[in-house]
Amino acid sequence: MSAIREYDVVRVRSLDGCHGCAGLGARVPVIGDMGTVVSLLSADDQPDRFMVECVMPDATTAWIASFPEHALECIESSDIAP
């Protein structure tokens, strides 16, 4: 089981393995961006992936992309039970 959960705030540590990094939203993710895990993607034969959304100050989506766990750093853990 992963240490990262839905609704955790994470920082992008690496773009290695990023899916959707071509620009779903206003811009593409960059290392150092922060976002919220909006979904956990899991399959029996694959490692977990995390769908992360980064929101701009005007509340529009900067980007949304999926990352492997090694590409993210948990900044703030959610108190919401999975």
Indicate the CATH number for domain 9-76. 2.30.30
Higher pLDDT, 11 or 82: 11
pTM above 0.85, yes or no: yes
pLDDT at 19: 83
Q: pLDDT confidence of 79, banded at 50, 70, 90?
A: confident
pLDDT at 7: 94
- Count other C-beta atoms under 10 Å from residue 3's C-beta: 9
Give the model confidence (pLDDT) of 17-59 as tens digits.
Answer: 988 776 678 889 999 999 999 999 888 888 889 999 999 999 9
The yes-or-no verdict on residue 68 having pLDDT over 60 is: yes
- Per-domain residue ranges of the chain: 9-76
